[in-house]
Structure 1
Amino acid sequence: MPNAAKILIGLVLLIHVYIVLLETVLFRTRGRKVFGLKAEQVETMAPAMSNQGCYNGFLVAALALGLFHPTPAIAKAFTLFGLICVAVAGIWGAITVQARILFVQTVPAVLALVAVYLA
């Protein structure tokens, strides 16, 4: 896989590591600010956000396997799975939560998919 594709995949992976942290360990502090929540909303939403962070962690795992698995066909399968999941989740998030999610998640994932496809 070319370096440009690896860099874009790594960027998507790092974005999702940050999202996992925001939704889990940093939710009550930094996450609250990023998601624009009032203090009284945090405790009610914390369990659901932690669950969501867990799912984002699985996307991180898929992308990491895609980057580091020694068998190229398996690496590509994990990469495509992870990037497609991120792109679809970003579209759904943009529709249901906030349009900004499209640019934070979907656009980088689609750029990485294009780079993988062109490789």
Structure 2
Amino acid sequence: MGRLLLPRIAVALVAIEHAYILVLEMFFWNKPLGLKTFNLTQELADATVTLAANQGLYNGFLSAGLFWGLFTSNRLFKIFFLACVIVAGVFGAATAVPKIFYTQALPAIIALALVLALDKPSARNA
């Protein structure tokens, strides 16, 4: 049980982060918290609020998948959704803001490494 705790905590933190991003992008994008978080002007935020909500929804799907992985005995859910977060984080860093790599992709890379190293599959959930 001890070897499973660290990867579960890491996956949970990534899931919580993406749930928080959902809230920021869907509900606070053009509010003071969203403006400050994403360094936006009011005009740009108002013009892109629908796009941000769509983006937030995708972050919610990533979060939901990671939470699902925590509540199943199959580690493949965790691996798949962490890989999705990594791809999204690398793409976001390359095309939008480089710090996205450190805030989104890197935590998912660490969590994935922990899952692969410590969350060994049992005979029934390869």
Q: TM-score range by the shorter chain?
A: over 0.9
What is the RMSD of the two structures over their aligned residues, measured on CA atoms?
Answer: 1.0
- Post-superposition, which runs of at least 4 consecutive aligned residues in structure 1 deviate over 2 A? none
Question: How many Å separate the matches in 1 of 2:42 and 2:27?
Answer: 16
Q: Could you list the runs of 5+ residues in structure 1 that have no partner in the other structure?
A: none
Question: How many Å separate the matches in 1 of 2:80 and 2:35?
Answer: 30
Q: 1:4 aligns with which of 6, 10, 14?
A: 6
Q: 1:26 aligns with which of 28, 32, 43?
A: 28
Pick the structure with more helix per residue.
1
Amino acid of the structure 2 residue aligned with 1:18: Y
Q: 2:54 aligns with which of 27, 51, 54?
A: 51
TM normalised by structure 2 equals 0.88
SS of structure 2 residue aligned to 1:2: helix
Work out which of the two has the higher radius of gyration on C-alpha atoms and give 1 or 2.
2
Q: Could you list the runs of 5+ residues in structure 2 that have no partner in the other structure?
A: 119-126
Question: How many Å separate the matches in 1 of 2:13 and 2:81?
Answer: 13
Question: How many Å separate the matches in 2 of 1:39 and 1:31?
Answer: 10
Higher deviation after alignment, 105-114 or 27-36: 27-36
Percent identical among aligned pairs is 38
How big is the shift at 1:12? 0.4
How many residues in Structure 1 have an aligned counterpart in Structure 2?
115
How big is the shift at 1:27? 1.2
